Amino acid sequence: MNDCLFCRIVAGEIPVKKVYEDEHTFAFEDVNPQAPTHVLVVPKKHIIGLKEASAEDADIVGLCHLAAAQIARQRGIENGYRTVLNVGPGAGQSVFHLHVHLLGGRDLKWPPG
């Protein structure tokens, strides 16, 4: 989608600090980090969010999480990290292209706010 921020990032139209890329996923540093590691992993396919995903998106949603796990392993933060999808405006979703937040490198409280 031409007007989607994360589609434009995947297309290289908006500069980001790229962390990882494969056939189906793209990962980059969050511009407003909430932890020492705060990476966003997005599918290259435009999916609005988790509640809009369908069965055919199961693999890609899983691949985004596995990419996050690989990044966490590479960064040595496996003692504790969190993967988060904010689903809908009430949960803080502000960009309507599905994305997994990978947060780590500090103590993470539970429950999140």
Query: Looking at 18-26, 68-76, 91-99, 104-112, which segment touches ligand AMP (CB under 6 A)?
Result: 91-99
Q: Count other Cβ atoms within 10 Å, centred on residue 47.
A: 19
Q: Which stretch binds ligand AMP (CB under 6 A): 23-31, 55-63, 68-76, 103-111?
A: 23-31
Near ligand AMP by CB under 6 A: residue from 2, 54, 79, 94: 94
Give the x/- contact pattern for ligand AMP in 33-72, rule: CB under 6 A: -------x--------------------------------
> Which residue type does 32 have?
N
Task: Report the residue count for the chain.
Answer: 113
Q: Rounded CA gap, 73 and 93, in Å?
A: 26
65 tagged catalytic: no
Continuous H helices in 20-112: 58-75
**Catalytic residue, candidates 24, 38, 99, 101:** 99
The Cα–Cα gap between 82 and 101 comes to 8
